[in-house]
Structure 1
Amino acid sequence: MTALTPALLVLVRHAESARNIAKKGSVYFADDAARQVVRGVPDHLIELTPDGRKQAAQTGQAIRSRFGAFDYVFTSGYARTEQTAAAILDAYPEVERSRMRVKTELFIRERDPGFAYDMTTAEAEAAFPWLNEYWQTFGGFMARPPGGESLADVTGRVHMFLNAIARDHAGQKIMVVTHGGTLRCFRFLLEGWSYSQAQSWPEGGSPANCGVTTYRAADDRLELQDYNQVYWTVGSPADGI
């Protein structure tokens, strides 16, 4: 019987980024001083911190030991996912790396944060005084940040990506290096979450930097094996994109 899904799908959140540190897990910057290091840098160019590079390197050693080589490695094309993937792949000897194809996939990028991307909390509240009530009404899965995407929007493109790898990479081992919000969309689709389950991460459920989530093929579907395994010992897990 022909396989209808990848044999293995490993999802990795990117390592610690400069913006993770600057925002300290908050939706907006606390103040102007907090955002100065990354102000004006578009989301796709935000890079890893030195600790983030170490996290990715340590994670790479564990991933190689646990899973061996992959057929394909996909990144979102954002600097922080490309740097994370490169550090992970450094754990592999050249003969193994040469057999793994690395590809950029626009569909697995982080949600578009919209107009408030570089704002402080005070600025966002002044510019969008209605936003908190709107967010409370529609919830964290359906609501769109002004000028940006909802997680429901992101789920649409993740769905197209999953269909593509089922079609083109059935029976193969796939690693995806992506973002925290996008990971929630993967779980919504792969695990059949309800809208209420997808509204927010449960307490303690946010994926850590370089957290590793594993799905294996079972009866022509991908079944969760484990979630958010952390293999590094430097720094501390950070929330955010």
Structure 2
Amino acid sequence: MSKRPALLVLVRHAESARNQAKKGSVYFADDAARQVVRGVPDHLIDLTADGHKQAEQTGHAIRERFGVFDYVYTSGYARTVQTAEGILGAYTSQERDSMRVRTNIFVRERDPGFAYDMTTAEAEAAFPWLNEYWHTFGGFMARPPGGESLADVTGRVHTFLDTLFRDRPGQKIMVVTHGGTLRCFRFLLERWGYQQAQRWPEGQTPANCGVTTYRVAASGEQLELEDYNRVYWTVGSASDGI
């Protein structure tokens, strides 16, 4: 008997307003760049118009490839909820009724900390030691001031996976989550070392609505990577960041 879900599909959320404003940078370039989303907490950031289209196009591909899921999880953040809604829009009402949609706080994005709404110049002025600290500890262990490291997030993801392994053996699961959280899933499921987890390899930053697939091994003991970051949409632009 399988001790793992039969299928685990991880989807990064579609393009968000914050992705669009930051254009892949860690901080905002300037005050003009952040005005659209300034003061909006991370969990309330919406998708862009292109993001909604990305989710809809991805939904048709997911339905054709994987069929109906037993459970669909989101982080509860607006951008993951809206992405899941766009994906599930490709299914018939009867199919949607058969899938259980749940929120799980353990798969939320890392807490970005005090520099969340800062420009590059503001962050460098407020935390002049940060670049050296980040260089010393690396992108997996270092914590943004007031925030979480990816190692912290991995602890949450571990708890989520333990719950899946206990409660969802043999089932088909989709999780709509965030870019940083996806790295934590890969760290655990693929048994990465700390050095491998420091940064995404060149060209492997997860795309908006990138689809990563794991299937249970013949032994039923572990999930194996089938493919990573497959993109099915043709509108908008893939964005880095959360």
What's the TM-score bracket when you normalise by the shorter of the two chains?
over 0.9
Q: Tell me the residue number matched to 1:236.
A: 237
Q: What's the secondary structure of 1:195's corresponding residue?
A: coil
| Aligned residue identity for 1:123 | E
Query: Quick one: distance in 1 between partners of 2:156 and 2:77?
Result: 16
CA deviation after TM superposition for structure 1 residue 78, in Å: 0.1
Query: Quick one: distance in 1 between partners of 2:175 and 2:147?
Result: 23
Query: Quick one: distance in 1 between partners of 2:8 and 2:82?
Result: 20
Query: Quick one: distance in 2 between partners of 1:168 and 1:87?
Result: 26
Q: TM-score, normalised to structure 1's length?
A: 0.99
Q: What's the secondary structure of 2:138's corresponding residue?
A: helix
CA deviation after TM superposition for structure 1 residue 81, in Å: 0.0
The answer as to 2:191 corresponding to 1:192 is yes
Q: TM-score, normalised to structure 2's length?
A: 0.99
Counterparts of residues 39-54 of structure 1 (less than 5 Å): 39-54=38-53
The answer as to 2:58 corresponding to 1:59 is yes
What are the Cα deviations for residues 131-175 of structure 1, in whole angstroms up to 9, with x where unaligned?
000000000000000000000000000000000000000100000
Q: Tell me the residue number matched to 2:175.
A: 176
The answer as to 2:181 corresponding to 1:210 is no
Counterparts of residues 1-241 of structure 1 (less than 5 Å): 2-218=1-217, 219=219, 220-241=221-242
| Aligned residue identity for 1:52 | G
Query: Quick one: distance in 1 between partners of 2:164 and 2:186?
Result: 16
Query: Quick one: distance in 2 between partners of 1:200 and 1:163?
Result: 25
Moved over 3 A (4+): none
| Aligned residue identity for 2:223 | L
Query: Quick one: distance in 2 between partners of 1:56 and 1:130?
Result: 39
Q: What's the secondary structure of 1:193's corresponding residue?
A: coil
| Aligned residue identity for 1:194 | G
Query: Which ranges of structure 2 fall in alignment gaps of 5 or more residues?
Result: none
Query: Quick one: distance in 2 between partners of 1:202 and 1:166?
Result: 28
Query: Quick one: distance in 2 between partners of 1:21 and 1:140?
Result: 23
What are the Cα deviations for residues 31-51 of structure 1, in whole angstroms up to 9, with x where unaligned?
000000000000000000000
Query: Quick one: distance in 2 between partners of 1:168 and 1:74?
Result: 14
Q: What's the secondary structure of 2:20's corresponding residue?
A: helix
| Aligned residue identity for 1:99 | S
CA deviation after TM superposition for structure 1 residue 3, in Å: 1.6
Aligned-residue sequence identity (percent) comes to: 80
Count of residue correspondences: 240
CA deviation after TM superposition for structure 1 residue 236, in Å: 1.1
Query: Quick one: distance in 1 between partners of 2:93 and 2:29?
Result: 44
What are the Cα deviations for residues 187-232 of structure 1, in whole angstroms up to 9, with x where unaligned?
0000000100000000001000000000000022000000000000
